Chain A
């Protein structure tokens, strides 16, 4: 078995072992399985020969189980997928580690669900076939639903059902797009049904523009639920609010990234003309999300929901940058996936640890925790700053690149970064930075600094809650070693990416360029007469992009 297969099989085996074991051994088995998978992911990353290229590896033909349906069991991934695989493999054990104290009920099921989810996510990132991807993508729903529904907070029922229905409908809509494309491809190629990503991308790009419009709407529309875009986002804050800590971590860090990854891997290459035509629409939705959700964050007292809403705003920025269709923006968006995964996951862990001690997420009730838990406060402030894009931390690099991509996209002739959108979009999106500073600092001010406020019933927490009543201490203690161990890897990654992003940027550049290439070609081919007058001008006749690595250096 090669590493690619191991990445899927190991968590599966771990999950079954968890279920077969006892309540007491479940956490150990789960963590071990997670760590072994992390080891396999690291080994695969070391062996990975395609760093710095847009190639896929290992492209290994697995079982020929579904060939009659046109589905090839072909596994392989490029740099983007590889980075996300590493992120997944890192976040799963961390999220397990952080829930050792919090989860006291049905532990076998709990850790098994995380491993089932890990296997499905790995399959999604490794798939070179649309249906194979879909299997992983759709299957994540089952463990995610159970995690929220069984181990969630008081409103878990509504939250889990909403999560299930939104995601299911979204993914089925994408599936319809894929199947329509595959059927067209089959009839164009003598009835040979195939779901291979490359073949479908090639065929999709050759379709008439009106067909591509619908295709892009279907495929991207489905992924938009997962990202999530604004009108279909309401499941996410609810799910985050009710999910157990570890559930929020994987939801923010991994699951919604599959949505963005899907846009990048499927929607964009399969219907470039449709993407170009619909870019203003989706960009506007992204902007509404960025600004609207930032404003919502401003008035949130529930810390967890605040982070959840900020998540919607952040992913909006990442998607906006993708719709700028230039290499800088795309690079920024890809890096944003990783950075958002790290910093938001860190914040959710901090909030979860706090919740374990105080059983509230309300800033009105609890605050000034610097005096009680200094180490915790350091982590909280650190991850908040990373998410706020403080220069020197990872968030800054990606946010800067995203904004730069959006801004320069209109001036293709001068800057050498052809694309659409432009300064207007960048200006509006940058407003979100200010709003972000406002709400994050407000949160930190009340939550971490200021006078100490603790709920009166901290000594007698409500027993028997789904989160498990842990922390019968008179005074909430600071982080223990296990909790530090869960968060430290994320913090280190934040610093490393923040200070020295160049290798990462260099290595994702070809992949980003590959996604953007058909769009650049289309934009350059578009006659000037078609230029819309409202500032969304297409760049006609601009030169090919100069090295965006320069932009990466500028970001530092």
Chain B
């Protein structure tokens, strides 16, 4: 099976990391595994759920196979509950995590949005095979069904993103990073069952492997510059270097390679070229997934790594100037090129791919604003983007034209006649991405704008505002198409997909865009607590200071 072959390939890419294993730093870090295990229970739940999903998908019984998505949903709900129980400030402090409450926020975010992603793909995986089996034209063949694998890989990827937050050293960071990445390659390949998705998967995988190698090279340089793999020790080493004449060139090179590698996950310039092609080739639910989860993965990694080079608990942003300059350029180019690219598209999916690039650019401005002001804004924006993005992509996943995925913007004309609920969800999602108040996207953008202003990033603030203006133009197509344009002969075949759940997912998350602002205070407090560096202080105090 090709998907399996792809899953096997990366082991070669991981070789360098296994070579690092016996390092003394790694051995030292095993001493603190006790309290770490206490926090890892949610990930264990996800992992177990993934395994169960994979097994259930091979069952002879049709109803068991149909239960796979529900198993995935149950897993995520269970993870959320377990996380709430496990992730206390005391436990986080005992585990000596660099950002104690980051994991809580990220796991909650991934669970909630993950449920939406599972629902958005419900009914699309294995549809043809299940129909054949049901009608008796085809026999059940465990080699052909993929639902179990699909959901298992989806959960594995989420598990990897969650594990990132526990990272205290580069090895853990890298392993979690790859656990998050590898399943997404497989998801792209199996989500649609067409040649295009295979092409997209290959492209995604090879470029992904290259970016991983770049990142790993950066890690190696960082290790060379500090002699340690542990984040806290690395931080101390850098502080010492900074006091005696600045962080060395090797370390800065390492940091830059790492950042460039992460840029792939963020779909940020200069590693953004793959995004439109891969999104277009992937099925709609998978495109939704890879436009969100890798961003979480990338930003968590970026925040953790930049934390080592100079951000301190008091919130002073002191990233080395070169790194800051590179990030500044990346942010500016990413948002501008993303938005301009989106303007030129006729395909809804490609347009949303470019929009996802642009949104990464916005979020990078939060990183540049520093830990006390900006990281919480980035985390909040991740949430608002995840919700609105799922409402938009989920809406696309919830309709089809003559049994094929909807792709062109022309297919959306007059959608309100054929699928009023989906059209509403699509429009609300697009308006939220535009940043129309009072939808949730506005609050995310407002927070980023405020962070840029507070940190004195005037140029980025203005660039972001102008880019929002460009974005307003192309997001409008997703409102005007369904609601203003009249149906055309082309849209005759457009109808909601058979399964109810993609529609429900899109609509629920569209409602989320309206309802979440009512919880804006709590969201902001949670993200502020999550963005806190260093040993835990009571979150309430920090937010009051802000």
Contact = CB atoms under 8 A, between A and B. Distances in A.
A180 B484 contact: no
Interface in A134-151: 134-135, 138-139, 141-142, 145-146, 149-150
Interface in B419-476: 431, 434, 436-438, 442-443, 446-447, 449-450, 453-454, 458, 461-462, 465-466, 468-469, 472-473, 476
Interface in B510-531: 517-518, 520-521, 524-525, 528
A176 B461 contact: yes
A172 B443 contact: no
Contact of B484 (A150, A175, A193): A150
B483 interface: yes
A168, A184, A193: most-surrounded residue (chain B CB, <10 A): A168
Contacts of B476: 145, 161, 164
Contacts of B465: 172-173, 175-176
A160 interface: yes
Given A68-B525, A68-B543, A183-B453, A165 B473 contact: yes
Given A65-B518, A138-B437, A165 B484 contact: no
Contact of B473 (A134, A139, A161, A184): A161
A427 interface: no
Contacts of A69: 443, 446-447, 450, 520-521, 524
B195 interface: no
A117 to B, nearest CB: 14
A224 interface: no
B103 to A, nearest CB: 21
A165 B461 contact: no
- Interface bracket on B: 35 or more
B520 A180 contact: no
B450 A183 contact: yes
A161 B470 CA distance: 12
A183 B454 contact: yes
Interface string A154-188: 00000011001100110011011001101110110
B315 to A, nearest CB: 10
A66 B466 contact: no
Interface in A421-461: none
B234 to A, nearest CB: 30
Contact of A149 (B438, B447, B480): B480
A75 to B, nearest CB: 15
A142 B436 contact: yes
A146 B484 contact: yes
Contacts of B466: 169, 172
A182 B437 contact: no
A141 B434 CA distance: 12
B546 interface: yes
Nearest to B454: A183
A160 B484 contact: yes
B436 A139 contact: yes
Contacts of B449: 175-176, 179
Contact of B443 (A66, A165, A191): A66
B468 A180 contact: no
B469 A168 contact: yes
A555 B468 CA distance: 46
Given A164-B473, A172-B465, A135 B450 contact: no
A134 B437 contact: yes
Contact of A135 (B434, B437, B469, B525): B437
A180 B517 contact: no
A179, A184, A193: most-surrounded residue (chain B CB, <10 A): A179
A139 B450 contact: no
A186 B454 contact: yes
Interface in B98-140: none
Contact of B521 (A66, A135, A191): A66
A237 B483 CA distance: 24
A185 to B, nearest CB: 10
A182 B447 contact: no
B178 to A, nearest CB: 36
Contact of B436 (A138, A175, A184): A138
Nearest to A109: B483
Contacts of A161: 473, 476, 480
A164 B472 contact: yes
Contacts of B446: 69, 131, 179
A508 B306 CA distance: 56
B473 A172 contact: no
A67 interface: yes
A531 to B, nearest CB: 33
A168 to B, nearest CB: 4
B438 A139 contact: yes
A180 to B, nearest CB: 5
A46 interface: no
B484 A149 contact: yes
Contact of A66 (B434, B468, B520): B520
Contacts of A414: none
B468 A172 contact: yes
Contact of A150 (B450, B483, B517): B483
Contacts of B528: 68
Contacts of A187: 454
A182 B453 contact: yes
Nearest to A190: B545
Contacts of A191: 545-546
B472 A168 contact: yes
Contact of A64 (B443, B521, B525, B546): B521
B482 to A, nearest CB: 11
Contacts of A141: 436
Contacts of A175: 449, 465
Contacts of B543: 68
B459 to A, nearest CB: 11
Interface string B481-517: 0011000000000000000000000000000000001
Nearest to B438: A135
Contacts of B520: 65-66, 68-69
A112 to B, nearest CB: 12
A68 B484 CA distance: 37
Contacts of A149: 480, 484
Interface in B340-358: none
Contacts of A160: 480, 484
Nearest to B471: A168
A68 B483 contact: no
A134 B543 CA distance: 25
A428 B197 CA distance: 67
Interface in B225-260: none
Contact of B461 (A63, A138, A169, A179): A179
Contacts of A186: 454
A312 to B, nearest CB: 22
Nearest to A141: B436
A172 B464 CA distance: 10
A131 B435 CA distance: 13
Contacts of B472: 164-165, 168-169
Q: Which 5 A-B pairs have the closest CB atoms?
A: A183-B453, A68-B524, A169-B469, A135-B437, A168-B472
Given A138-B437, A169-B466, A191-B546, 12 more contacts: A65-B517, A68-B528, A70-B450, A134-B437, A164-B476, A165-B472, A168-B472, A172-B469, A180-B453, A180-B461, A184-B453, A187-B454
Interface of A: 63-70, 131, 134-135, 138-139, 141-142, 145-146, 149-150, 160-161, 164-165, 168-169, 172-173, 175-176, 179-180, 182-184, 186-187, 191, 193
28 contacts: A63-B518, A65-B517, A65-B520, A65-B521, A68-B521, A138-B437, A138-B442, A142-B431, A149-B480, A150-B484, A160-B484, A161-B480, A165-B472, A168-B468, A169-B466, A172-B465, A172-B466, A172-B469, A175-B465, A176-B449, A176-B461, A176-B462, A179-B450, A179-B461, A183-B454, A186-B454, A191-B545, A191-B546
Interface of B: 431, 434, 436-438, 442-443, 446-447, 449-450, 453-454, 458, 461-462, 465-466, 468-469, 472-473, 476, 479-480, 483-484, 517-518, 520-521, 524-525, 528, 543, 545-546
